[in-house]
Amino acid sequence: MQSSKRLRDGTYLRNGPGLWDVGDYGFRHLFDGYATLVRVSFRDGQAVGAHRQIESEAYKAAKEHGKVCYREFSEVPKTENFLSFLGQMASLFSGSSLTDNSNTGVVRLGDGRVLCLTETIKGSIVVNPDTLETVSKFEYTDKLGGLIHSAHPVVNDTEFWTLIPDLIRPGYVVARMEAGSNERRFVGRVDCRGGPAPGWVHSFPVTENYVVVPEMPLRYCAKNLLRAEPTPLYKFEWHLESGSFMHVMCKASGNIVASVEVPPFVTFHFINAYEEKDEEGRVTAIIADCCEHNADTSILDNLRLHNLRAFAGQDVLTDARVGRFRIPLDGSPFGELDAALDPEEHGRGMDMCSINPAHVGKEYRYAYACGARRPCNFPNTLTKIDLLDKTAKNWYEEGAVPSEPFFVPRPGAVDEDDGVAISMVSAKDGSGYALVLDGQTFQEIARAKFPYGLPYGLHCCWVPRDK
């Protein structure tokens, strides 16, 4: 590894769908792939890499039987006859046919356990960050139930916040889990204002005192869960007429302190949220930022494998921006949603974001994400967003596909952007490398080549060596 600056010792872990073939059958959507975990461990200026499949029940069954056995994002097991179809329906309601393919996120819990996650609660899987071995299922010991949850809990050294959508009585349960525990505790409930089902909550943000619950018009759809063939919006439906809302819950009391109607939006990833205060220090509003797809669900279609393979180099990636919500706490019925900076700054591509973890829930200035250099059919740049100056710095290499730039602060850092952004890049020739960018200048500090190419991946975490 070539490096001019010493990197902090620790392990960068990345999760994501990495295997899209079962026997001679090929999956259709990026999100269907069986989870592949990648690690790059930095020690004394050297980098060592490895990758391994997560041994979910869904993956093991597919390997053993040579076919899809659980319901994935766009795939359902093929039924041979009417009786097995009835069996499938029954298992759907019990949740036993839902996938545990933990292919979305990876987080380090406050007690040091490393957890891989997806949209299903049963898809919470503990892994060993050194060997990448699948250790066990993460069993929640509480009685909160639910089959699905937000794939992105908000985690820090002391706690874990999660959202559990309620498809029967449309709403969301907000729950909190102490570090070191497996027991989520009920904090409060949000009733949906629109319908017929809750909006998809892939992620949500928190501030120091509040949990922000988004309700977007892209809503879960029980009917689509039952279908054998994928629908245009998979397990979801678009209900523009149902309205879009942002709810704010007090962390301490579980009370709803604001529930406002906002312009329609589509987001999978919230970037951060914080409390806006007046001169007397009173909280006047909540600011919540997200990667917003201009209220257009087409990104889901963009990410079908056929489209990713067919349109390389063509300008078909749909536009996205940093969407900034302002949710007033004075009882006003409406909130605002605007672009936080001119989307041209990042080529109108925006997703897969991270920030300095010390700023989660607090005022912040910088976000790291994937943007676009047009023409492209997939986000192809790494971008550092300055929300104060409303500018972006972009890293680009012709033909390369970088994944989420994960920000790791320098120990003892004072400046918010004092640290590095780590990404794994698939190069034009199919090879792959870990890339380390200076968090301030956004210039390359180091790259470590993998001896083989790696699939695209989604979300990351950092496991410091000293912990």
Ligand X SMILES: CC1=C(/C=C/C(C)=C/C=C/C(C)=C/C=C/C=C(C)/C=C/C=O)C(C)(C)CCC1
For ligand X, the binding residues (CB under 6 A) are 31, 71-73, 98-99, 104, 118-120, 148, 202, 225, 235, 268, 299, 351-352, 370, 379, 458
Q: Confirm or deny that 269 is annotated as ligand binding.
A: yes
According to the annotation, is 29 in a ligand binding site?
no
Q: Does the bond joining 214 to the residue before it have cis omega, within 30 degrees of 0?
A: no
Exposure string over 386-412, b if 16+ CB within 10 A, otherwise e: ebeeeebbbbebeebbbbbbbbbbbee
Nearer to ligand X, 190 or 370 (CB): 370
Describe the strand order of the beta sheet including 351-354 as a list of residue ranges.
351-354, 366-371, 381-386, 391-396
Q: Which residue is nearest to ligand X (CB)?
A: 351
202 known ligand binder = yes
Q: Which is nearer to ligand X, 104 or 207 (CB)?
A: 104
Shortest distance (Å) from residue 234 CB to ligand X: 8
Annotated ligand binding at 306? The verdict is no
Q: Which residues pair with 400 in a beta bridge?
A: none
Instruction: State which residue, 153 or 379, has the beta carbon closest to ligand X.
Output: 379
Least distance between ligand X and beta carbon 200 (Å): 7
Are 127 and 116 in contact by the 8 Å Cβ rule? The answer is yes
Least Å from the CB of residue 28 to ligand X? 13
- Smallest distance from ligand X to CB 401, Å: 10
CB of residue 295 to ligand X, shortest distance in Å:
14
Residues contacting residue 407 through CB under 8 Å, at least 6 positions apart: 354, 355, 356, 357, 366, 368, 419, 420, 421, 439
Q: Give dist(CA 277, CA 331) in Å, integer.
A: 16
Nearer to ligand X, 272 or 380 (CB): 380
**Nearer to ligand X (CB atom), residue 200 or residue 210:** 200
On the CB side of 452, CA atoms within 13 Å amount to: 6
Q: Is 456 helix (H, G, I), strand (E, B) or coil?
A: coil
Check: CB of residue 109 under 8 Å from CB of residue 13.
Answer: no
Q: Which is nearer to ligand X, 97 or 134 (CB)?
A: 97
Residue 320 beta carbon to ligand X: minimum distance, rounded to whole angstroms: 8
Residue 375, preceding peptide bond in cis (omega within 30° of 0): yes
To 10 degrees, the CA torsion angle through 422, 423, 424, 426? -140
Residues placed in the known binding site: 152, 202, 269, 459
Residues placed in the known binding site for Fe cation: 152, 202, 269, 459
